[in-house]
Amino acid sequence: MATTPLHVIIIGAGTGGMCLAHGLKRAGISVAVYERDRTRTAGLHGYRVGIDPHGSRALKACLPPDLYETFVATCARDPKYFVFLDEHLKPTITIPLREGLDEVDSEKSVSRMTLRQVLFTGMEDHIHFGKTFTHYERREDGKVTAFFEDGSSAVGDVLVAADGANSRVRKQYLPHAQVEDARIISITAKVPLTEESKALLPKGLFPGIGLVVAPKGYSCILHWMEFPWDREGGLKNNIGGNDADLLANWPGLLFDNTRDYINWGFWASTDKFPADVMQRGGKELIQLALEMTPNWSPELRKLFSMGDPTTCFPINIRTSVPIEPWPSSNITLLGDAIHTMTPGQGVGANTALRDAHAIVRALTAVRDGHKPLVQAIHDYEGKMIDYGFKAVLESKKQTSGDQPIHKPYVGRLALAGMRGYLRLADRVPAMKRKMADDIYRYRGGEDED
């Protein structure tokens, strides 16, 4: 069988770009990644990310098997419940998450910096740090040249934009594609997990995910992140067998900046925040969260006040405006570069991973002579545009400043209706089961690409 040699250049070494790079390397396709961060530990890329079955499936298919095992071993303890609470920390419904699933089908919590280090492992010869992409040019021989701020350039048969929500590749390639403000601002911080911080939250919340939904559309997510290693970086007692070996010998762990923590994220519609919120520092942001929640549970407010100011930052949530398919070429996009979404469904990174896996399959078919390049990219884009923008719209439905819950009067009715429904569902097993099934159906638990 005739094979077509390809060299793929990827802009951005984020979740999607690195999963793609691993997948191509594993398939024997030449790949180079260009990342603007200067080193593998640079940049603040957030704290926790939830990996669903779509994401795990893509990672399993693309990473070398031992690195996939390292990814699993470095996840925080699996969440066992999803709990909705009111602002007094009273649960309205506790949805048990499925247990005993194999590692691909389970829901995982991972520290972003740790996942980033896992994805960089073994790729040292393929990543070029300190390369900020500026623009590309098409060459007469059909190849594409990418240019960087330092004056250097790189040539590839295929250019993949994996450069996130502000993608410069997208701005040049699809200038009509817009990313708009979702009119939500979030403040997030980490609190070290200690007996004191743990005692502030209801027992039934751990190990789980808590979502506080309060009047005025104010909300707060609580993630409990408990890792297999202790504060000094030593392995905890209950770790043994393969996991112990993996963690003890994995070089990426040296770069990890994570210890057990609770991550809180408070958000509301933009109009509820002072105009200069995005310019405020950690201490002021924590103070602001306290000022905005005077009637909330004293324990939860105490948890806010215990946020480490150096870990506290604001996020202005944005969302892509879906666009019609475009004529395909040897330039394509994945992840936030094409479908930035609000964190409403928690699937942005998972969709980026799903894209990466799909591009690996498409380019493998080209390499093996089964499809012409542009046809393979067209087929990938057809599916990606469909599931990617569906996820954008679903996520926007869950988290956007336009939801009724943020409106002055309607908001109260919407909150009362929602709480009534959740309390009823908590008492009716069939309703509760359906809510759990819906979570898994949406998060890739029951379908295959």
The single residue among 12, 156, 210, 314 that binds ligand FAD, judged by CB under 6 A, is 12
Token pair 């939250």 is found at 201
- Determine, following the binding rule CB under 6 A, whether residue 314 of this chain makes contact with ligand FAD: no
Applying CB under 6 A, the span of 67-75, 177-185, 340-348, 413-421 interacting with ligand FAD comes to 340-348
- Determine, following the binding rule CB under 6 A, whether residue 37 of this chain makes contact with ligand FAD: yes
- Determine, following the binding rule CB under 6 A, whether residue 444 of this chain makes contact with ligand FAD: no
- Determine, following the binding rule CB under 6 A, whether residue 210 of this chain makes contact with ligand FAD: no
What is each CA distance from 402 to 67, 294, 336, in whole angstroms? 42, 24, 21
d(CA 390, CA 161): 20
Two structure tokens written together for 442: 């949406």
- Determine, following the binding rule CB under 6 A, whether residue 217 of this chain makes contact with ligand FAD: no
- Determine, following the binding rule CB under 6 A, whether residue 133 of this chain makes contact with ligand FAD: yes
Applying CB under 6 A, the span of 128-136, 226-234, 358-366, 434-442 interacting with ligand FAD comes to 128-136
Considering only residues 180 to 199 of the shown chain, the ones binding ligand FAD according to CB under 6 A are 186
The single residue among 349, 358, 360, 425 that binds ligand FAD, judged by CB under 6 A, is 349
Cβ-based nearer residue to ligand FAD, 277 or 315: 315
DSSP secondary structure string for all residues of 341-396: --GGGS-HHHHHHHHHHHHHHHHHHHHTTSS-HHHHHHHHHHHHHHHHHHHHHHHH
d(CA 413, CA 90): 19
Applying CB under 6 A, the span of 174-182, 305-313, 334-342, 403-411 interacting with ligand FAD comes to 334-342
Closest separation in Å from C-beta 108 to ligand FAD: 10
- Determine, following the binding rule CB under 6 A, whether residue 422 of this chain makes contact with ligand FAD: no
Nearest residue to ligand FAD by CB is 14
- Determine, following the binding rule CB under 6 A, whether residue 132 of this chain makes contact with ligand FAD: yes
- Determine, following the binding rule CB under 6 A, whether residue 222 of this chain makes contact with ligand FAD: no
Two structure tokens written together for 382: 């057809």
**160 within 8 A of 8, measured Cβ to Cβ:** yes
| CA gyration radius, the chain | 22
Cβ-based nearer residue to ligand FAD, 43 or 122: 43
d(CA 123, CA 104): 23
- Determine, following the binding rule CB under 6 A, whether residue 107 of this chain makes contact with ligand FAD: no
Residues that contact ligand FAD, how many (by CB under 6 A): 34
d(CA 286, CA 289): 5
Cβ-based nearer residue to ligand FAD, 17 or 53: 17
Closest separation in Å from C-beta 133 to ligand FAD: 4
For residue 156, give every residue at least 6 positions away whose Cβ sits within 8 Å of its Cβ, in sequence order, or none: 7, 8, 9, 32, 143, 144, 146
Backbone angles phi, psi at 269, to 5 degrees: -70, 150
Closest separation in Å from C-beta 369 to ligand FAD: 29
- Single-letter amino acid, residue 48: R
What is the pattern of x (binds ligand FAD, CB under 6 A) and - over residues 160-179? --xxx---x-----------
What is the pattern of x (binds ligand FAD, CB under 6 A) and - over residues 40-79? ---x--x--xx-----------------------------
d(CA 213, CA 210): 10
Cis, peptide link before residue 207, omega less than 30° from 0: yes
User: Is 294 exposed, middle or buried (CB count within 10 Å of its CB: 0-12, 13-18, 19+)?
Assistant: exposed
Q: Are strands 127-128 and 153-156 parallel, antiparallel or unpaired?
A: unpaired
The single residue among 6, 8, 16, 92 that binds ligand FAD, judged by CB under 6 A, is 16
CA end-to-end distance (rounded Å), the chain? 26
Chain residues in the site for ligand FAD (CB under 6 A): 11-17, 34-37, 43, 46, 49-50, 131-133, 162-164, 168, 186, 315, 335-337, 343, 346-350, 352
